[in-house]
Structure 1
Amino acid sequence: MSLQQTLQVFELLDSATASGEKVRSLLAGYAGVEVTVKEVRGPKGKTDFVKIMIPGTAGKRQGGTTPTLGIVGRLGGIGARPGRIGLVSDADGAVAAVASALKLAEMQRQGDSLPGDVIVTTHICPDAPTRPHDPVDFMDSPVETEDMNEQEVSDEMDAVLSIDTTKGNRIINHKGFAISPTVKEGYILRVSEDLLRVMEMTTGQLPVTFPITTQDITPYGNGVYHLNSILQPSIATRAPVVGVAITAVSAVPGCGTGASHEVDIALATKFAVEVAKEFTRGTCQFYNTEEYQRLLDLYGSLAHLQKRQPEA
């Protein structure tokens, strides 16, 4: 159960003084857990990037070979002060990511270490800008997408879960969370059967998925519409990436306050933790390697979609 950790992190970040250092302090008492904080300034302000590494018993940090899972909390900002007071809907991804790290750290303290390493990344900005978006306004970010990917996506990650609030649309009409097809180097692959199984197990419901388009897996700033930034980590890695969208039935603005639902965030957190357990012990795959190789043999690489094309 991850509700307790979700509530702890929610209260920690629901503050005008929320920072990366507060996240570091939250995890300071857990032996072996590494937390780094880096302030990055951009054209619209600054934010604290947080990287949390929970080592596995046979992970790469220990000289082992078990795979490493990356959990990225994707967002523009956790707050839109001074225009909006309180935690915004867009903060859900950061809350879920940090809560996942806290749960894994607590498990390790209780003697339940995972085989492989888990790297959790996100950023903490309580006063990010907003921007217009159809059908409802989005949160903007104080830094560029390239800066986010540089800080949040690592070559150490063998697969990535990108958790992001995805309520500002009419595409997903479900309250809870949904997962995307797997994205790898420009290819939108079929939804992972293993991830569907884990989702069924953790929610007790039929799995929910959401559609993505080629546009969604191209870089921001190329002039085409994106559902949101949930799959932007996919442009910065060769590893498979799956979006974990925290969702609502109605279209909710990312800059809206009072719009986060702790139980939904906790469900996404529990899913991420269970995926970490299975992926690092080799019982959960994000994609079928033979099918992917067949696509490459037939149609070649689509990695050019990961690059921002110059405007004509």
Structure 2
Amino acid sequence: MRVFFSKSILFIAVKHLLGLYHTSHHDISSILDLASFYKKSIMETPSEHFSDLMGKIIVLAFFENSTRTRTSFDLAARKLGASTVNFTASASSIQKGETMLDTIATLEAMQVDAFIVRHKDSGAPHTIAKHSRKTIINAGDGTHEHPTQALLDMLTLQETFGKLNGLKILILGDILHSRVARSNIFGLQKMGAEVSVCAPTTLLPTAINAFGVKVYHDLNRAVSEVDAVIVLRIQLERESGGYIPSINEYSSFYALTEEKLSERNGKLVVLHPGPINREIELSGIIADETCEKAPSQSKILNQVTNGIAVRMSVLKHLL
């Protein structure tokens, strides 16, 4: 099956997706619209595949470990008829001293069509894009951005509330080191949402005011004033790095628990990019809660499903 949309719907001015900071409202809307179409098709006929990218070869160039993002992109490409090549830095010539750019140039010479890049260093996909003639998609770079994670979060919120404009969204946790937080702030604000953050001062960027977000330090107050919360994984090495006194102390103030929702009126929609540290940043009950009558409603597995549809849409737009 091949999907046809008018060029006005599918047009994106650039051939890369490096972040949402420079991605327009129009392009985000276009990606989400096509993702909704793919999501509907996937849910109605899980075995359905499309031929939109038949003959394309996509390299999953992961210089950093990943489970969800790598698998999701792999499935998305295959759903569209493309072939994928899984590249892992630990099993490559990089271990022999080859540079990242030499590795990309070598793979590019094999006539591939796109690189999906995950890297521990901020800016690595941008560097590759400057030297490559192929499409580059950022699958997460350092503490910089993770655009497709934010796009799937936005699709999940849009499905839940029927809109993004006017929503009040809280991002909770390690904002300082989170590429997910940055992409969500940039993307949600462009779509008209009001974004706030909640974290200890040591886990906030020093220039947080430049992001145009409201800052909370009291989680009980924060959750009483928003429509949804995106809970971030607390990286356990932050304790040894001196960013927090201890994991237990962090959890006592900033873990999202049933008690923290006791004063809230109405349901709180909960998202998490995964993997979850249960009982550290989020209670297991809230993580698993899908009951309509509960004080919270988890959309975490919906995010995983939406990741495939969003990444299908991104690939279709760019290739």
Q: What TM-score do the two structures reach when normalised by structure 2?
A: 0.26
Q: Whose radius of gyration is greater, 1 or 2? A: 2
Normalized per residue, the structure richer in helix is: 2
Q: Which fold has the larger relative contact order, with Cα–Cα distance below 8 Å and residues 6 or more apart in sequence? A: 1
Q: What TM-score do the two structures reach when normalised by structure 1?
A: 0.26
